[in-house]
Amino acid sequence: MPEPQDDIEIALSALRPRAPGPEVAQAVAASLDSRPQERGKVILWFSGLTAAASLALAFLVLPEEEASIAPLAVTSELPIRADNSVAAAKVVADAAPVGRSFARSAPPPAPQAASAAGSLGAGASAKAMAAVPPEARYRLAGASRSPTSLELLEPVRLRDGTYVRPVRLRREHSTQWEAAGSGARLVRYRPEESTLLLPLETY
């Protein structure tokens, strides 16, 4: 037989508290339901701006350096032996960084870059040039860089609850070196790729 105290507990649980008025639910809905909609609008709004912002950013951070490439027509004849240059060019091409930051590209080094320019001074470089027979010298035949391509990815939510839109920037550099004697060409290909996170959060 239940204790009288238990009867009181059971009776208490039978009492039905009054429900909140509809105005409470409306006020809660105004606060909680408006949030994702506003966020959606913000994301939508930012999505439209993202392309423009990315383009502007790309031109600011990755300025076209046609002017700096064009003078490569200077086409200084650089000394390097054909057999060594092939290996050097491959090494340089294989080591071409992918996904590095937006550091401005220096004028592309000649295929002998790894050896002569780095370790030897100007005088030594001149000596090396003189020591190489003319038929083994390479000259810069051309340089090109593709337009920067932008890839806008879907917004993602970070751990702190904010939203960002990843933007992938890609472009390709290539320089062509021609052997003075044989006319053989070496192509140095350097893809460059970076990813930016554009914030979409506004509150």
25 binds another protein (CB under 8 A): yes
Residue 8 in contact with another protein, rule: CB under 8 A = yes
The separation between the first and the last C-alpha atoms of the chain, rounded to the nearest angstrom, is: 60
Which residues have CB under 8 Å from 76's CB, separation 6+? 139, 140
Compute the distance between CA of residue 111 and CA of residue 131 in angstroms, rounded to an integer: 17
**Which residues within the stretch 30-69 sit at the binding site for another protein (CB under 8 A)?**
31-32, 35
Q: Which residue, 15 or 67, has its beta carbon nearer to another protein?
A: 15
Listed ranges 23-31, 59-67, 89-97, 192-200: which one lies at the site for another protein (CB under 8 A): 23-31
CA atoms of 75 and 108, how far apart (whole Å): 11
The correct pick among 1, 2, 11, 134 for binding another protein (CB under 8 A) is 11
Shortest reach from residue 119's CB to another protein, in Å: 58
As a whole number of angstroms, the distance between CA 176 and CA 138 comes to 10
Of 28-36, 60-68, 85-93, 109-117, the segment contacting another protein by CB under 8 A is 28-36
Q: If binding is defined by CB under 8 A, does position 27 make contact with another protein? A: yes
Is 116:76 a contact under the CB 8 Å cutoff?
no
Does the footprint of another protein cover residue 14 (CB under 8 A)? yes
Task: Provide the minimum distance between the beta carbon of 163 and another protein in the complex, in angstroms, as a whole number.
Answer: 16
The answer to whether residue 23 forms part of the interface with another protein (CB under 8 A) is yes
Rounded to whole angstroms, the Cα distance separating 64 from 73 reads 17
Residue 152 CA to residue 149 CA, distance in Å, equals: 10
Residue 20 lies near another protein (rule: CB under 8 A): yes
Q: Of 29, 44, 73, 120, which one interacts with another protein (CB under 8 A)? A: 29
CB count within 10 Å of CB 193 equals 15
CA angle 157, 200, 61 (to 5 degrees): 110
List interacting residues with another protein (CB under 8 A).
4-5, 8-9, 11-21, 23-25, 27-29, 31-32, 35
